[in-house]
Amino acid sequence: MIKFNDTFIIGIDHGYGNLKTANTVTPSGVKIHESEPPFKKDVLEYDGKYICIGENHKFFVDDKTADMDNYYLTLYGIAQELSLAGITDSHVHLAVGLSLMWYSEQRENFAEYLRQNQYVEFGYNGKTYHIHIDGISVYPQGYCAVYDKLRDMDGVNMIADIGNGTMNILKVIDHKCIIDSCRTEKLGVEKCVFRIRNAVMNKFHEGIDESIITKFFRNEEQELPEEYRKVMENCTADYCSDILAALYNNEYNSKLMKLYVVGGGAVVMSNHNINPPNTTFITDICANAKGYEFQAKRNLRKCADGKGNKSQA
């Protein structure tokens, strides 16, 4: 969260696996209750509904405005950031993103969707929030996650933003994004999760909780029998091979390009020794949200100085 004049800029990355702000990460599942649930932590109270956030992940859909889930997640993200500062009444400028493949087509609709209430009041963790939405900026995913590295992108570079549902690919040549190179592949980390679950079921005839797989991806300490670990390592290696194959199919050349891998996929690849030449892993999965805030502040400052287009802020 960044303060600009009397407004707080809040970056939100609406991932299919996790909702990310600059400082928080929460599974993006949404479940609505008409009556008060027994446990009220991470529950929004809005429009007469109790909305539980974070119990699971959101299924992949190519239109973020298809239902109300991303609006509820936006309110949750606002509350998460403001609660860290002890603020419940604020003017907010939202900075959000869309997949490169659908950015041009869906940008205006997504902004209108998030703008459906200029003033919104809701409850979260026992407090009431009063929020004025002053503006909305929509940026391309992946690009914003590497904004602070663009100055280093001499020659030919490729960005691979690997989230839970998709991998977004973008080529950058001498600091300039090549729009025609944008590609979206359905090769998010959930593919690896499904592969591990199926392999464990086939070999051991039992299920495996996703939290165990997540800890394995992150190299977090846990008691894991060696025979299970071996299966998970093999599945992860196969998944990473699929990632590299997709990159090569999209004109990646490890001898002639620098590769920047962003998001949850960067965590998986870097923690499991998948390291092509000239590769930079950006393992901060909040990098897109932070980048959205940076871009919005820069654009709002240009507008304030009379040098920018306010509609693009």
Give me the pLDDT at residue 13, please: 96
Structural domains of the chain sorted by starting position, each given as residue range(s) with its CATH number in brackets = 2-140+288-312 (3.30.420.40), 149-189+216-282 (3.30.420.40)
Q: What is the pLDDT of residues 197-245, one digit of tens each?
A: 999 999 999 999 999 999 999 999 999 999 999 999 999 999 999 999 9
pLDDT in tens, 25-55: 999 999 998 888 877 678 999 999 999 998 8
Question: Model confidence over 257-277: pLDDT tens digits?
Answer: 999 999 999 999 998 888 889
What is the pLDDT, as a whole number, of residue 264? 93
Q: In what order do the strands lie in the sheet with 167-173?
A: 176-185, 167-173, 156-162, 258-262, 279-282
- Burial annotation 152-166 (CB, 10 A radius, 16+ → b, else e): ebeebbbbbbbbbbb
